[in-house]
Structure 1
Amino acid sequence: MELRPYQRAAADAVEAEWASGRRRTLIVLPTGTGKTVVFAEVIKRVVDTGGRALVLAHRGELLEQAADKIQKTTGLAASVEKADLTSVGTFEAVTVGSVQTLCRPKRLAALGANRFDLIVVDEAHHALTQSYRAVLDYFSHARVLGVTATPDRGDRRDMSEVFDSLAFEYTLPTAIREGYLCPLEAQTLPVKIDMTSVSSRAGDYAAEEVGTALDPYLPEIARMMIEAGCRDRKTVVFLPLIATSKKFQAMLIAAGLDAREVNGQSPDRAEILAAYDAAGKGTVLCNSMLLTEGWDCPSVDCVVVLRPTKVRALYAQMVGRGTRLAPGKESLLILDFIWLTERLDLCRPAHLVAQDAAVATRMTEILEKAGAPEDITEVEVVAQEDVIAQREEALATKLAEQRRKKAKLVDPLQFEMSIAAEDLSGYIPQFAWEMAPASDQQIKALESYGVFGEQECAGKASLLLDRLAKRRAEGLATPKQIRLLERYGFRRVGTWSSTGASSMITRIASNGWRLPHGVSAAEWKPKDMEGGDES
């Protein structure tokens, strides 16, 4: 199989991490972009050099999918470690194993600590549990690759407890933009569901209390789904409880929809899923959180989340059931309801693409006012512009107050806003070393560029230093030049050359630190820029 560019880049990045000494690394790929293909390629490279690999997962469906994909893409057959099946005495270089089976000491001892050179952890956000750690610790000399679509966890535990680094991340917006996943549309429906009495448990809303709170609204939700066009789409609905799922199926059938229901207790689960997969438009499948992992149905083009969650990973897994491309599929519609809650960390469609909390909030406001399906990547652009405008206004107020002060160093936020560095202003540290305070060496280096860095974390300081070094190499205006000229009202100084900025500063100084006659600061550009005014 020919790898897509990002898939090959991911595999190469993993090898680079291992070569640098980081033996446990992580890759993040959105649902539907082929994470199994990527780790199959990594496995092939290890096997080609004489190594053996273990794929570790917590569900039988994931093991079956992994073995099948590895066989199809690399030609490598896999032995199995699950229940009464064992790889002991087999000659296959690849093994797929159930973590529930392999965490047992006797099972590990039968394999031997040196059996595997590589361990792949599928759905790696589960790797912090004791069962996974028991296996990884036993095969301690093996390199480890974690693959997941959702590295963030509901319990807020840090993935760096298991993994040393993030080798590669491919984002959902990028996958959509490059045509590997379908466009996402969101429509907020005016059903206001009161969640104020629902408590939290283990970092998320208590499922049984959500079911109770949701019950009175189910008839209205069914009606709104039909009005939103579910007769013309293939829909999957996620609900908090099996009883709620069955009840909602009955309501949808009564409303005239072809609704099916599947749950962990369904004896004919495989048959129900196969029939739904073969069904056409107007079909609805209700489930009680059964289908969040290990289930693919590319023809799904509508997702309804009736299990509100504070865990972005869980929300992304639910929506991810419909992000794959399929013949005749133009978009995935996410039907979103207004959940009335006192907490502000409820996941909504905006959180699938927005990295900045303020942008996500503004996106949600726009979607609630729209009253019709909106492309969420386009809404994100509008929301970013609104948030940037708000921040610039706030920054302008801050700068007006600071003009009376003679600060020696430039505030990092001012510098980031001046050069429109949204990746810096929206930066969120992921690993322990990134969260640590900036080192003395980093602070001194930032000060040498004229930037105050004592309040920054190590990860942010590293990014700032990289950006400052790049700007210096490109001959762009320095932080101090930007700050000085912005005080005189010049705009977008971050895009000026250092030479152009120096020239204007010299003119201002020669004029008694007053703006030269005939210079309009808000419109002026140096001569080395297109449309520059300097003579």
Structure 2
Amino acid sequence: MGLRPYQQESIDKIQEEWSIGHKKTLLVLPTGTGKTIVFTKLTEELVKQGKRVLIMAHRGELLEQAADKLFKTTGLRAAVEKAESTSIDSFYRVVVGSVQTLQREKRLEQFNPDFFDAIIVDEAHHILSEGYQRVMNYFENADVLGVTATADRGDLRNLGEYFDSLAYEYSLPAAIKDGYLSPIKALTIPLTLDLTGVKQQTGDFSTKDLGTALDPYLYQIADEMAKQCMDRKTVVFLPLVKTSQKFKDILNSKGFQAAEVNGESDDRKEVLQDFDNSKYNVLCNSMLLTEGWDCPTVDTIVVLRPTKVRALYCLDEQTEILTKDGWKKDVEIGEEVAAFNMETNEIEFKPSLAKVRRPLGPDEHFVSLSSPSVDIRVTNKHRMVYDNKRQKGWKVKTAEELAKLTSGVNIPIAGSNKFSGVPLTEDEIKFIGWVMTDGTINKLNGAIAITQSENQPWVDEIEKAIKGCGLKFGKRIFSSTSNFNRHGKMIEWTISHGKPRGRGRELSGWEHLEKYISKDLSPELFEMSEKQFDIMLETIHLADGSKQLGQSWIRRSYHIAKGNKHFIERLQAMALMRGYKANMTVETKGRINPLYVLHLKKKAYANIGSTYDGRPTWTNENHTEETCWCVQNELSTLVTRRNGKVAIVGNCQMIGRGTRLSPGKKELLILDFLWHTERLELCHPASLITKNADVAKKMTEIVEEADGAVDIQDIEEQAEKDVAAEREDALAEQLSAMKKRKRKLVDPLQFEMSIQDSDLTDFVPQFGYQMGPPTKKQTAALEKMGIFPDEIQNAGKAELLLTRLNKRRDAGLATPKQIRFLESRNFQHVGTWNFDSANTMIKRIAANGWRLPRGIKPAEFKPAEKRDTPKYDFDSLVQSFTG
């Protein structure tokens, strides 16, 4: 299979990075440009060199895709390291491995740490997770390639924490220009959409209110769609499931063949397949298809979930999110996370629709609050759920808005779910509670032994529960020498696993309760009713709780301590879904192993943030160079935990995708209905093409003024020129204050603006080596080339600037000093002049006593076309920089 030019170039660049010592390098290719082909062909080259290669992914279908593509493109077969399948003793030099399998210690130890020469990680944005890091650290000597789709600047900075370099990046605009992805056209439809009544949440729109605001316009939108895309294949993104379902019915009434999918759809797979096979020509969804789904034949996108921002408002790295598998600091797309329904006060598990992990933005900072009830630390614009008068219902403000309030507010910390219950009697629940706390299970015969001091007042309760379950038991009293029971004897009850023999055969063993009994607290108990849970909680508290004299057995608060973290965390999750404030602390002082203590109290919200009654208040922190993260779900809320304390907060926002080529497809058309009666800063289709907010804004203005659909890539160049001109005007005032600077050297900012290089102007360091200060060699080289180096803040910017200067030298363009001198004489756009033209004009001015020659009007002067010119002497400078 022949490679496209950018594919071959990327393979060459990857190996070049490895050869110069950048052992962990990154490849960025947009969806649809063949990233799998690239790393399989790279694998082929590595195998030819006699190397062993591990290809890793986090999903089974990605591994199957990689193995299949490897065989089809290279003829190489791969061994599989996943679940029961193992690559040990295989003669294949390529292994495709699941991170879930490889991260296990016993699995890793089967390999020599130097077994693999190279590791390729598909969807590399997952590499920062704990599981991946465990594998990467074990094979620490291997060369590493991370492969990911087009990432924005924040994503790259985040990945720069692990990777040494970016080997190659192929941009979405370049792929479209080269004909490998579909062109994108945008059409703004002047729908008078009134968003003035929609609530603002963290500077963006309330999802719930957007659904309500859209309802009056759905028929009008459908009519406009009938004019533009009746014969096209369209995906529509809407804010709510009920809005999506309603719009599907409206479209069908207009003659479309429309279908709808959401996170609860049982037939989602079948509907997506039917849409792919063109049974439907419109697919409506409530932001479900933002990631992980592709249909190349889609040629129209309608986004009816307007957003004001591209920023993703996040939690700090210490904050965990509750999932169906427990508390996590990393969540995959599609994984079910706990969300709070602000209308019903119930906690529901919803699929994660999108996630982000990124560095803190330059205009962001953390807002934090630490109190006995909650510990919260989020970005300043993060959505916070609160209520200042409980009976009025939950509302949303940004964290920094809450920080400004002088009166206290309520933050939700628990839900009030109604569970159906489990088929267990009260005695059975108590018995299970005693087994989980004071019980042991004999590994040889399966018998349970429950042990308790005879001095405890509740010993009769244990025996009563055992008898109430109809269990046959043995009982003995013995002396204990342990410090725990130095003042009395112990009672031990023994219950067999299976059917008893001999006397008492009419009774039973505990076998029928087996699925409910686990030292980690069985998930089978999660559906307990609130009453059942309270019975179990009271039993657990009697066994492992902190008791105070004078308290009744039925109490308002519980403090339960165990060395089993899994048990405590599962109990915490069950409690907070039944209206309990459930916070966990860890005691380590004077202990070999940590003790986990769960503090429970019937209370669904915490009172915080009052400045007049002495309660802890919010703190606006200074900006820090930290990483933050978050996920998005249908309910737009999350159940979080920080330092063991639970709080319910809002979540982040997201953006969709789709540009693959398909036979007969001319372009991807984006219908932009986001006109409104009050002018707001919305995120528009231009954001797909440019990462520069100023350019995107200018492009959007051009699209809105156009008569029909506009190719947004065609207008990018015009928008960049307009923005550059505006920047020049703004810079003129700034440069007028720099007259006392070194006259010998050129200010780098002035040089950037002169050559109109947006990559230089907008540069942000992404990798570790780029973030440090410029090296001495870089500083010396810049100064020799005429640039004042003191204004260069980091090595990455210095490297990029030197690269530009070398390219300009090779192309025979004007030097920085020539540009500065001639622009000081009011000549225009000298950055585009060639060296000869600039040199000739400077000589003419010098020969005329440093006055402008007769007849020369600088503002109107244009140099002659470039002729063949000898290179001027920069060889020594290049050598000093490259070493």
TM beyond 0.5: yes
Deviations 1:167-201 (A, max 9, x none): 1111111111111111101223443546974545x
Q: Give the aligned partner of residue 104 of structure 1.
A: 104
SS at match of 2:109: helix
Q: Is 1:179 aligned with 2:516?
A: no
8 Å Cα contact 2:23-2:144 kept in structure 1: yes
Q: Does the 8 Å CA contact 2:122/2:147 hold for their aligned counterparts?
A: yes
1:151 aligns with 2:148: no
Look up the match of 1:220.
217
How far apart are the structure 2 equivalents of 1:370 and 1:528? 35
Q: 1:479 to 1:68 in 2, by over 3 A?
A: same
2:672 aligned partner, one-letter code: D
| Bigger mean CA offset, 166-175 vs 361-370 | 361-370
User: Which of 777, 791, 799 is the aligned partner of 1:462?
Assistant: 799
Between Structure 1 and Structure 2, the one with more helix by share is 1
Structure 1 Cα separation of the partners of residues 59 and 248 of structure 2 = 26
Give ranges in structure 1 of 5+ residues lacking alignment: 531-535
What is the distance in 1 between the residues matched to 2:852 and 2:168? 48
Task: State which of 774, 778, 781 in structure 2 corresponds to 1:445.
Answer: 781
User: 3-state DSSP class of the match of 2:269?
Assistant: helix
Aligned residue among 298, 302, 305 for 2:303: 305
**Separation in 1 of the partners of 2:105 and 2:249?**
47
Output aligned runs, 1:68-79, within 5 Å: 68-79=68-79
Where 1:257 maps in the other structure, the secondary structure is coil
Query: Structure 2: 5+ residue runs without aligned partners?
Result: 313-353, 357-653, 868-883
Deviations 1:275-323 (A, max 9, x none): 111106x6122334443444332111012334546369989x96543x1
Return the offset for 1:212: 4.5
- Superposed CA deviations along residues 495-519 of structure 1, whole A, max 9, x for unmatched, are 4444543443343344443222222
Distance 2:705 2:285 in 1: 29
Structure richer in strand, relative to its length: 2
Structure 2 match to 1:33:
33
Q: What does residue 119 of structure 2 align with? A: 119
Deviation at 1:250, TM superposition (A): 4.0
- Indicate the structure (1 or 2) with the bigger Cα radius of gyration: 2
For residue 44 of structure 2, what is the amino acid of its counterpart?
Answer: K
Aligned with residue 821 of structure 2, among 474, 478, 484: 484
Aligned length: 523
Distance in 2 between the 1:106 and 1:500 partners? 70
Counterpart residue type for residue 411 of structure 1: D
- Gap change, CA 1:81 and 1:527, over 3 Å in 2: closer
Three-state SS of the structure 2 residue aligned to 1:335 is strand
Any residues of structure 2 matched to 1:362-377 within 5 Å, and which?
362-370=698-706, 372-377=708-713
RMSD: 3.6
Percent of paired sites with the same residue: 53
**Where do 4+ consecutive residues of structure 1 move more than 6 Å?**
153-156, 312-315, 342-346, 403-406
Matches of 2:311 and 2:848 in 1, distance apart? 58
Equivalent positions of 1:111-510 (< 5 A) are 113-152=113-152, 158-189=158-189, 190=191, 191-193=193-195, 197-199=199-201, 209-218=206-215, 220-221=217-218, 223-228=220-225, 229-239=228-238, 242=241, 245-279=244-278, 283-307=281-305, 308=307, 310=310, 320-321=657-658, 323-338=659-674, 347-370=683-706, 372-398=708-734, 407-456=743-792, 457-472=794-809, 475-510=812-847
Query: In structure 2, do the counterparts of structure 1 residues 227 and 526 end up closer, same or farther at CA, with 3 Å as the change threshold?
Result: closer
Q: Spell out, residue by residue over 1:328-359, the C-alpha distance to the aligned partner (whole angstroms, 9 max, x if none).
A: 1110012334388x999964321222243321
Give the CA deviation at 1:526: 5.3
Specify the code of the residue in structure 2 equivalent to 1:278: N
Secondary structure of 1:275's partner? helix
How has the CA–CA distance of structure 1 residues 460 and 344 changed in structure 2, closer, same or farther, with 3 Å as cutoff?
farther
Give the AA of the match of 2:277.
A
SS at 2:671's partner residue? strand
Please say which of residues 438-447 and 161-170 is displaced more in the overlay.
Answer: 438-447
Equivalent pair of 1:28/1:150 in contact (CA under 8 Å): yes
The CA deviation at 1:37 is: 0.6
Is residue 223–residue 255 contact of structure 1 (8 Å, CA) maintained in 2? no
Partner Cα distance (2:776, 2:789) in 1: 10
Secondary structure in structure 1 of the residue aligned to 2:715: helix
Q: What letter matches 1:58 in structure 2?
A: H
* CA gap 1:266/1:54 in 2 versus in 1, 3 angstroms: farther
Q: Secondary structure at the match of 1:508?
A: helix
SS at match of 2:828: coil
Q: CA deviation at 1:484?
A: 1.8
Cα shift at 1:222: 6.0
Q: Which moved more, 1:236-245 or 1:128-137?
A: 236-245
How far is 1:60 from its partner?
3.2
Q: Is the 8 A contact 1:184 1:331 kept in 2?
A: yes
Quote the Cα distance in structure 2 between the aligned partners of 1:123 and 1:195: 40
Query: Hey, what does 1:533 align to over in structure 2?
Result: none
**Secondary structure in 2 aligned to 1:151?**
coil
* Structure 1 residues 302 and 472, CA gap change in structure 2 (3 angstroms): closer
Q: CA deviation at 1:266?
A: 3.8
User: Match of 1:368, as an amino acid?
Assistant: E
The 1:111–1:241 alpha-carbon spacing in structure 2 relative to 1, beyond 3 Å, is: farther
